[in-house]
Structure 1
Amino acid sequence: MPIRAHIEQLRAAGASMRAIADKAGVSISQVSKIAGGQAHVRRPYAVRIQAVTPAAVLARSGADDFVPAVGARRRVEALQAVGHSSTAIAMAMADGATAAAVRKIRSHPGEWISRTNHERVVRAYNQLWDKPGTSHQTLAAARRSGFAAPLAWNDESIDDSRAQPSIDDDAHDLVDEVAVMRAVAGDRVELTATERAEAVGRLAAAGLCNNEIGARIRVSGRTVQRIRKAAGIPSGWKEPAA
C-alpha cells in the first residue's frame, strides 16, 4: 500500500509517529494502524499523510516539539570540520548556549532533539558555515573523526538521515565530465563537491540565477549561493530588459 510505504519512508528519515500525525492532522492511532497493515484507509487520511514530508516535520510549530537530531549533529560536525570550536559555535548559537551543550549535541546518542536546540544550531551554522574557524585543535580532531565539511551537505540532505555527504576522494581535482554535463542538462546524477561546483560555474556563466541553477542540479538556491561563494564563482545572471 503506497500510504504505508510513505509512512515507512518518513520513519526512515527520522519522523516519529506523533510528528507524522501532528503534521497530517490525524490521530497517532490512525497512523499506527496504517503502518501496522490496516487494509482500508479513508481517502482524506491518505491524502493528508502523503502530503507530509521530512522538511514539513521539521517545520512544525511549537518550541517544545522534538525533531530528528541528525541535522543538528551534522551541522556541529561540519562547523568543527572547518575549525570552529565548541565555544565559537556556542557563541553563535546565543541564548546562553555553552560549549558543553554543543559537545552534548554532537555526541547526542538519541534520535530526537528539542526544536529549540535544533534552531539554535541552525542559527550558528548559517552564521559560520562559510567562515574558517581558528581552532587548529578542533580541526585536527574533526579530521581524525572524519567529519564532513559544510560543502559536503546541501539544504535538502543535511536533515535527512538517509542522505550521505558528498565527499571528494584524494583525487579531488578530477571531474567526471559526463556527470557534470548530465547535471547541467538537468539529469538526476550523483556529483562530488568538486563536480557540483563545476556544474554551478557553467550554469552561472550561462546566465542562470541561483534558483534556476538549483532547479537544474536539484538543490536549493541558497545551496547554490553557498557553493558560488565558497568557490568564488561570479554571477552571470542579468535582469531581463523591461
Structure 2
Amino acid sequence: MAAPRAGRETPPNPAGLRRRMRSDHVTAQTAQDVSALYEQLWNLRPPQCTGDQRTATDAAQALAAERGRLPPLAWDDIDTDTDSRHHTERVETGDDLDEIAIERALAGDGVHFEHLTPAEQDDVVRRLTERGRSIRDIAQQLATTTRTISRRRTSINAA
C-alpha cells in the first residue's frame, strides 16, 4: 500500500513530475507538487561551485531569456500589473530609487542588473565597488557581463 502523499517532505521525482507537467490534464496533486517545489526553490541561487554548474546556469538563464521567461521576482506584483509582458520595463522617475530592489541586489538575492533602473544600477555598482568587489564578482552577482559593469563603473566615475 502506498504511503499518503499529503504533507510529504521529499520532492517529487523530477522525471515523473516533468511527465505529469507535459500531460494534457493537470491533477490537483501535480499542482500541489509544483507549488511546493516552487516555494522551496524560487529564491535560491543555482549552484555555481564548478564550471559545469556555472555553464548549466548560464545556459538555463539564456534559454529562459530567449523564450521571454521572467524570473520569480518579476512576478511579485502580478495582481497589480495591467500587462505582465511589460513588467520588466520600468519607468524611471528622476532620482526615485527602489531601496528594496537595491538592497536585494546588494545581498545577491536574485535581483539582476536588468531588473534595476539605470539610477539603481549605478547605485548598486557603486556600493559593491566601494565594498571592494571585483568587476567579475559584481557581474556574476547581477547576472550581467563584465563589460557592462566596467562601462557602468566608468560612467559613474565620469559623473
- Shorter-chain TM-score bucket reads 0.3 to 0.5
TM-score if structure 2 supplies the norm length? Answer: 0.42
Greater RCO between the two (CA within 8 Å, min separation 6)?
1
Larger radius of gyration: 1
TM-score, normalized by length of structure 1? 0.29
